[in-house]
Amino acid sequence: MSIKSINPANGEVIREYQETSGRDCALAVREADDAFAAWKKTESGHRAELMRRVAGILRSRAEDYGRLMALEMGKVLDEGVAEARKCALVCEYYAESGSDFLAPEEVETEARKSYVSFRPLGVILAVMPWNFPFWQVFRFAAPALMAGNGAVLKHASNVPGCALEIEKIFREAGFPENIFRTVLAGGSRVEEIIADPLVKAVTLTGSVPAGREVASAAGRYLKKTVMELGGSDPCIILEDADLEMAARACATSRLINSGQSCIAAKRFVVVEKVLDRFLELFTEIMRSVRIGDPLDKGVDIGPLAREDLRDELHNQVLRSLDRGAECILGGRIPGGPGAFYPATILTGVTEGMPAYQEELFGPVASIIPASDEKDAVRIANHTSFGLGAAVFTSDLEKGERIANEEIESGNCFVNEFVRSDPRLPFGGIKESGYGRELSYFGIREFVNIKTIYVR
């Protein structure tokens, strides 16, 4: 069978790739494990030097990689270039700090010597999504490889070019030939790869249904997992917020990657006293957005990654309208080729509507009124997701209290939209998953935390 790379801006096939067979998937795992036997013994300084070379390649070819992302999944060129550079940043971060994060920790006991060491596990399977086709991979691969593990990547089937290019980068940088392998396999192959005894753990970024399937399969074979799943992130706008700043931040968060981000703001919970003014400011920004070919200069949002995803999003909008929501901007599929969808605002969103309950993976904003601060927090937490959230208020002490004590999420920002940073742990709770990526928490997810006791 073949895997097609399709340009979502015009529906044209870019290239066809041969799907990796089950036999070749098993071979890739075995070869990665063979490479791991030597890689786990290499000094951290050598690993760090190779990781810095990867960062150098990413920076020097950021324009090329941005163009590849634009062609395969519709990311606006400038955003793709920025994504490649962010990948370089995470490689440099772990090159600089990885060995310190994994340094043995002495523990005082009755023994002559007792300590905790952090040893690599082996081959880690990464099941990655299309929306950030470079960043999602590198934020896993940089810490995993710096810890001495091997990796096998099963990327989303609509970004095969990105998947193969990432493997090429590691090889070109001088990493052992098979320590990072890409397999172009469909979702049906994932469980058999998980079942391979040489695979020691699994990390997945994707939808809740995909997370349930992979976690279930990993559980049957007792494999450690990290899950970064969906989100329906709320932005709370309190009556003392700087509304102009909040509107800009909220619009930026909703439109990054054409709205196709797990941590994009999706539900805007606004205290009624400032609802009209916030909506006026927010609508003005959203109305000014330019939609078009992601390779064209000045374009703010490109197409969604696939037409079926665009159609699913539109169906969620229509079902919300049927249940009483009002569309004050956008909400119509434009004519012509490509998986385009306009910046859209839904008001009058209430419980029971898809725009309230579900993740809208595209440039659609749900405006939800709240009577006061307490009600806003209740609405923000009234979701099965728990990835990110934001609070906008001029009272920083109040904002920090709400963020720290009251919001149910893995990340909560005050007066800023949620984003990932290599220095900070990233992950969710509830149906948004478990485990953490990035910072020293991320590099310790896929190691054997080992007690050593010497009498």
Residue 19, in any domain of the structure: yes
Question: pLDDT at residue 341 above 90?
Answer: yes
Are 138 and 285 contained in the same domain? Answer: no
> Crossing angle, helix 135-146 and helix 77-101, to 10 degrees?
20
Read out DSSP for 47-59?
HHHHHHHHHHHHH
Tokens of 298: 């000045």
Are 265 and 169 contained in the same domain? Answer: no
CA separation, residue 194 to residues 145, 148, 158, 197, 387 (Å): 19, 20, 21, 8, 26
Tokens of 215: 């976690």
Residue 368, in any domain of the structure: yes
Are 398 and 447 contained in the same domain? Answer: no
Domain range for 288:
233-414
Q: Which residues are part of the catalytic machinery? A: 228, 262
Q: What CATH number is associated with residue 257? A: 3.40.309.10
Q: What are the φ and ψ backbone dihedral angles of 272, each rounded to 5 degrees?
A: -55, -30
Are 277 and 394 contained in the same domain? Answer: yes
Are 158 and 269 contained in the same domain? Answer: no
Output the CA torsion 118→58→134→246 (10° steps).
100
**Cross-strand partners of 233:** 265
Residue 22 amino acid letter: G
CA separation, residue 455 to residues 87, 106, 119, 125, 448 (Å): 44, 14, 21, 38, 22
Write the DSSP symbol of residue 240: T
pLDDT digits (tens, 9 = 90+) for 76-89: 999 999 999 999 99
> What is the pLDDT, as a whole number, of residue 420?
97
Instruction: Tally the domains of the chain.
Output: 2
Question: pLDDT at residue 1 above 90?
Answer: no
Are 103 and 252 contained in the same domain? Answer: no
Q: What CATH number is associated with residue 191? A: 3.40.605.10
> What is the pLDDT, as a whole number, of residue 115?
98
Asked whether 428 and 231 are in contact (CB, 8 A), the reply is yes
Q: How far apart are CA 255 and CA 251, in angstroms?
A: 6
Question: pLDDT at residue 165 above 90?
Answer: yes
Question: pLDDT at residue 275 above 90?
Answer: yes
Question: What value does the mean pLDDT of the chain take?
Answer: 98
Are 222 and 285 contained in the same domain? Answer: no
Are 220 and 262 contained in the same domain? Answer: no
Are 224 and 276 contained in the same domain? Answer: no
Instruction: Tell me what the mean pLDDT of segment 98-126 comes to.
Output: 98
Are 266 and 355 contained in the same domain? Answer: yes
> What is the pLDDT, as a whole number, of residue 65?
98
> What is the pLDDT, as a whole number, of residue 190?
97
Residue 422, in any domain of the structure: no
Other beta carbons within 10 angstroms of residue 439's beta carbon come to 18
Instruction: Tell me what the mean pLDDT of segment 19-48 comes to.
Output: 98
Half-sphere exposure of 221 (CA within 13 A, CB side): 21
pLDDT band at 149 (very low <50, low <70, confident <90, very high): very high
Instruction: Tell me what the mean pLDDT of segment 354-359 comes to.
Output: 97
The whole model's pTM is what? 0.97
Output the CA torsion 340→346→351→353 (10° steps).
-40
> What is the pLDDT, as a whole number, of residue 338?
97
Asked whether 300 and 254 are in contact (CB, 8 A), the reply is no
Are 222 and 242 contained in the same domain? Answer: no
Residue 382, in any domain of the structure: yes
Asked whether 219 and 251 are in contact (CB, 8 A), the reply is no
Are 166 and 185 contained in the same domain? Answer: yes
Nearest CA among 325, 318, 324, 331 for reference residue 364? 331
pLDDT digits (tens, 9 = 90+) for 400-412: 999 999 999 999 9
Residue 260, in any domain of the structure: yes
Q: How far apart are CA 83 and CA 145, in angstroms?
A: 20
Question: pLDDT at residue 246 above 90?
Answer: yes
